[in-house]
Structure 1
Amino acid sequence: MPNYVEEAWIGQAGKRVPVSMRDTIVAFWPTSPIDSARDLVGKALELLGSGMMPRMQAVYELHYGGDWHHELRQKHGIFASAERVPLHDPYVYLQVLLRREEAATFEKVFTVTTQPTLEHLRDARNRWAHFDTIDATQASQDVREMQMLLTDLGATDEARRMAQIQRTLDLMVRSGRS
């Protein structure tokens, strides 16, 4: 199976770089094939969780105190087990944010994000978690919304890394590869 990036950027005959530009161009030659759209959504969800975690925890701790895990579990009943909330999973944060009474807690944190975006991201996470088919077009839209949420939260490093995933998905969409 041909490597997607090599095929998309370099082609069969390779890509020629003028002598005058050879000192200023960084060449990228991948060592392994690019992941599927589903794999890229999984990586994006990991980034989303790691970008949301410190910002959401800070707000939760201010609002609920040090034992915010217990408070959220008790108040919303969405965390069925007695274990601590799985903090790496963005689903936890999205579920709580979709509760109207919690939305007021975060009004000053979010500037652009709307409830439909949060619902869409929760659904995207569920599609990924339940091994539903994810094509490159849908994945591109999902990752774009994740990037907007991270930017909204001020998670610039994660948003920048999310943009790299977005570019890869955009290439996949343009080439017709899912």
Structure 2
Amino acid sequence: MTNHYGVIKQVMLSNRERVGKGLELLSQGLYPYVEQQLQEAYPDDWETQAKKELPDYKSTKKKDIKEWLSKDTGALLTVISKKWDDVFQKSIDKPEKRIVEELIETRNYWAHGDEFSADDTYSAINGMVRLLKAVKADEEIIKKVEKHKQEVLRILVQEQNRQENWQTKAAEARIISKLSGLLEQLPFQDASLLQDALTHRSYLYENPKEAKTDNELLEFLGDAVLNFLSGEYLYEKYKEEKDEGDLTRLRSALVEDKQLAKFAEQLELGKWMRLGKGAIADGAKDNLSVLSNTFEAIIGAYFLDSQMNAVRDFVRSLFDSVIEEIIAVSPQIDDYQTDTPQIAIDPKNQLQQWVQKNQGAILPQYRVIKEEGLPHDKTFTVQVSINGKVYAQGTGSTKKEAEKQAAGNALKKLGLL
């Protein structure tokens, strides 16, 4: 029981009390070293030499200099400082002299009853540890001081975590308040992820201190999630009625830019998107590509936030709202040549179908070969290769647009467009 009380008492020490404990241990660790160095430098009168550096000694009732030095940390540190050039610089390095001076100030503040912050306490005790190690003090004493140091560090980390948590919660509250309307439709657990998904690269470029990232990686993830979920949706709904070609065309229609932009408009993403002033002036709020890309980023972020089932439920309601209309304007068709009105197939999907039909189970490979322009206004050049052979290039303001153009140019080269 006594041990537990002792542990609790140590943890509950104030910063000033902890500095005081450290100073007591410091004097215990320093005194043997100071006495030894003074004896070596002044074999016959080391005590007299020590007294000369302590003008207050004469005014005290203490007669034994040894007793005073062994118990008064300030006196010990003063002697080291005053006798540095003649005695102590020979055995410890110059940086330790600065520590000695700082610890003299610490001891004076403590003696005057000043309070210490956690940062000041850690700095003081860390200096004590360094000085004790420099003079090769008793290991047990060093361990005791280091224990105080670790406890202060733990308190510092706790304070920092509390501060960071408070800041995070405050920032989260601001985001939730700002995006409350959108969060009613997309119940994100982490509203900051939703904000990231709404952040266009133009906003990040103009506000680098406020915005931590743009939405392009989330857009990449969302594109993959949408392709999977649209394929799953169509397979489950029409596997008995339609063949692979029909389902591929329907999937292209569900996730093409125009359709995704319509989904974005239903969510009114234009008013929630974080855009740079230049992008706003250029009409980005109503830009089909920007809306489509932002919707994909929202899906990517929602997947990270709430996992696949939540995203599946959300997009299926959107798919249900448009699939009948898409089918109505898309009669059964064969291959790519027909005079019947049909869905415009995404060029990347069309190229993939041609490759797998004519060259086997391989996929076209897309590679960015050039990036030009400012970070918020880039132009990408992408080349598409099939089985190691470069077929075409394409450019666009996003990698996805450039890939689509490259695929379209490859289809033209193959005589399919």
Shared fold by TM > 0.5?
Answer: yes
Q: Which has the higher contact order (CA 8 A, sep 6+)?
A: 1
Whether 1:38 aligns to 2:21 is no
- 2:53–2:78 CA contact under 8 A, matched in 1: no
Q: 5+ residue gaps in structure 1?
A: 1-27
Distance 1:66 1:157, change over 3 A: farther
Q: 1:66 to 1:129 in 2, by over 3 A?
A: farther
Residue 77, structure 1, aligned to residue 55, structure 2: yes
Instruction: Identify the residue that residue 80 of structure 2 maps to in structure 1.
Output: 97
Does structure 2 conserve the Cα–Cα contact (< 8 Å) formed by 1:97 and 1:103?
Answer: no
Distance 1:153 1:62 in 2: 15
Alpha-carbon distance change, 176 to 80 in structure 1, aligned in 2, over 3 angstroms? farther
Contact 2:103 2:124 in 1 (8 A): yes
Say whether the 8 Å CA contact 2:125–2:148 is kept in structure 1. yes
Higher strand share goes to which structure? 2
- For residue 128 of structure 2, what is the amino acid of its counterpart? M
Q: Distance in 2 between matches of 1:84 and 1:113?
A: 31
What number of residue pairs does the alignment pair up?
Answer: 149
Which residue does the alignment assign to 1:166? 149
Equivalent in the alignment of 1:14: none
TM-score in terms of structure 2 length = 0.33
| Equivalent in the alignment of 1:68 | 46
**4+ residue runs over 6 A deviation:** none
Question: Structure 1 residue 108 and structure 2 residue 90: aligned?
Answer: yes
Give the gaps of 5 or more residues in structure 2: 161-417
Q: Which has the larger radius of gyration?
A: 2
State the distance in 1 between where 2:16 and 2:147 align: 15
Q: Which 10-residue stretch deviates more, 162-171 or 101-110? A: 101-110
Question: 1:84 Cα shift?
Answer: 2.8
- What are the equivalent positions in structure 2 for 1:95-174 lying under 5 Å apart? 95-99=78-82, 101-111=83-93, 113-155=95-137, 156-174=139-157
Contact map agreement 2:53 2:79 (CA 8 A) in 1: no
RMSD of Structure 2 on Structure 1 (CA): 2.4
